[in-house]
Chains A and B, each alone.
Chain A
Amino acid sequence: MHKKVLTEQALYFGDVKMPKGFEINHDKLKADILQANIENNDFKFSKNWDKLNTFIREHINLRYQINLVNKSTWGNFLKPFTNTEPLLEVDPVDLRNSPDFVLLYGVQVKNCFIRIYYEDNRRKGRSWDIELKNNMFIMFPSTNTYIIRNKKNEDLNFIQTITYEYI
């Protein structure tokens, strides 16, 4: 008897463990997110963003032999007691130019939960919740719809999103 896995929906998560003295400056990244949102501009390249992006790409390649290539990035802030609309980063009518993965990074978050929806064959509408903490990332397939929830928090939650394709 044999088994062949044709596809998998893998989620990757953990902390961004930078060397001492080279940690990501969350205050600066938060300021960059605010600036881009207030000015309604694209998120600008920065040293702190590069630290995050490089760490993720190199460690995902090291652990899972997946070569990630950047597609786009933006920052969000979420008001207390709010949920985002269901989000989907793949464009169903433009799969060729869609990303493969979505990465969410907790820049400054508290009581922030990510709900990821998935299908398990005929079992539709299933979901999995994970709390996003400061300096933590979660990466999942772009074909999964997700919601970001800010629960019982008096502060804004700041999240950096990066989308990737793999080669």
Chain B
Amino acid sequence: MAHFAKINENNEVLHVLTVNNKDVLNSNQQEEESVGQTYLETHNNWPAHLWIQTSYNTINNTHINGGTPFRGNYAATGYTWDSTNQIFWSPQPYSSWVKHISTASWKSPIGDAPDLTDAQTAENTAGTHKWVYVWNETAYQADNTNGWELTNTLA
């Protein structure tokens, strides 16, 4: 099955539709995006150029079965199509977070969360705690060297 994202003229994903493989084959029996776009235009009252093929198996620019990733992420309603970078972006999680093109994901402006210590990991494994780093946008806006806060979600 092939998947196509229906986008509006602001590049926002409205919907994702599944199309039968035979409806995206050209005369040489090769899969071709424009064939699927034409099929969708005919049957869905929406112009061909606003249907963008997306890969069910791609997330964070990685193919989950080890294949070639396609367009960054599998599209979903609320995602944004970036034709320049050929990526479907999820909604920005926090106002300070920035796009990381190579992983097709959002990153905090001060990098990834620190690793848990061995003691914290052991407590998580034992089930006595559940330590995670949570982003605090208010803290970051007050002091742009802060942002990640260690939290025990079992507390």
A55→B5 CA distance, assembly (Å): 15
Asked if A54 is an interface residue, CB under 8 A from chain B, the answer is: yes
Residues of A near B6 (CB, < 8 A) are: 58
A contact face: mostly helix, strand, loop, or mixed: helix
Which bucket holds chain B's interface residue count? 10 to 19
Residues of A near B9 (CB, < 8 A) are: 17, 19
Residues of B near A17 (CB, < 8 A) are: 8-9
Residues of B near A47 (CB, < 8 A) are: 45
Asked if A59 is an interface residue, CB under 8 A from chain B, the answer is: yes
Residues of B near A51 (CB, < 8 A) are: 45
Asked if B50 is an interface residue, CB under 8 A from chain A, the answer is: yes
Which bucket holds chain A's interface residue count? 10 to 19
Question: Do residues A61 and B77 form an inter-chain contact, with CB atoms below 8 A?
Answer: yes
Asked if A92 is an interface residue, CB under 8 A from chain B, the answer is: no
Contact mask for chain B residues 1-43; partner A; CB cutoff 8 A; 1 contact, 0 none: 0000010110011110000000000000000000000000000
Q: B77: which of A22, A50, A54, A62 is its contact (CB, 8 Å)?
A: A62
Q: B47: which of A21, A50, A62 is its contact (CB, 8 Å)?
A: A21
A54→B78 CA distance, assembly (Å): 16
Residues of A at the B interface (CB closer than 8 Å) are: 17, 19, 21-22, 47, 50-51, 54, 58-59, 61-62
